[in-house]
Amino acid sequence: MADHDAVTKNGVLIDGMPLGPRFYGRRKGRPLRASMKRLLDEALPQFAFDPARPIDDQFGHKADRYLEIGFGGGEHLAGLAAAMPDCDFIGAEPFINGVASLLRHIDEQQLGNIRIWPDDVRLIMPSLGAASLAGAFIMFPDPWPKKRHAARRILQTALLDQLAVMIRPGGRLVLASDDPTAKSWLLQAATAHADFMWTARSPQDWRQRPAELPETRYMKKADRAERQSSWFLFQRCGVAD
């Protein structure tokens, strides 16, 4: 395989890049088909996010930008990018099979407004800059339901502190889950943070998928299994410029 297989070792960046936080979760799944390997080898270099380069240079223009943390198979991120062609999107996902899946969506839909970070999002957050994002998405993250694994859950106070810096005042933080444990900690963590305000006014606001968010196969599967998804929309506090 190409460099995407040598980016990390034991959850830490190598080849001269700084050490990073410990990552919990899978990085590889089933062996990839030849076509997916080819996408990683040939397309990923074109769409890879480079934290050492100015973001405007990577997209070739200035635009509203959004970050999706843990995009899974990329269906949601690709749907957003297709529906909002004038906006730019950065997706972070350490699971290489998911990265390959997103590259397939990009290829099939001819999307040019996505850049991919195939590793832990925390490694690039310092490079994104203050008020650089119009919003961020954390959709159906790994719930880590056992109490002793609580520290492995992605939405910790430190991450919210960084998101509060990167999301401009008036911007959005969108959280979603179909797992009872994850719903509780996502909502508790975000509502406890002084820089984010929950926008819900009635139960329907969190029980129904916002119309602007694309429906994915995972969401449909959750519905068929009668797992109730919840959608928590937060606004970054402060006065927008």
Catalytic residues: 142
Rounded-to-integer distance, Cα 193 and Cα 162, Å: 12
List all residues 6 or more positions away from 170 whose beta carbon is below 8 Å from its beta carbon: 235, 236, 238, 239, 240
In one-letter notation, the amino acid at residue 5 is D
User: Are the C-beta atoms of residues 56 and 80 closer than 8 Å to each other?
Assistant: no
C-alpha dihedral sign at 3, 6, 11, 17: negative
User: Are the C-beta atoms of residues 114 and 47 closer than 8 Å to each other?
Assistant: yes
Residue with tokens 């839909």: 109
* Residues in a beta bridge with 196: 236
List all residues 6 or more positions away from 187 whose beta carbon is below 8 Å from its beta carbon: 175, 198, 230, 232
In one-letter notation, the amino acid at residue 87 is C
Rounded-to-integer distance, Cα 220 and Cα 229, Å: 10
40: left (phi over 0), alpha (psi -120 to 50) or beta: alpha
Two structure tokens written together for 51: 């934290």
State the DSSP code for 48: B
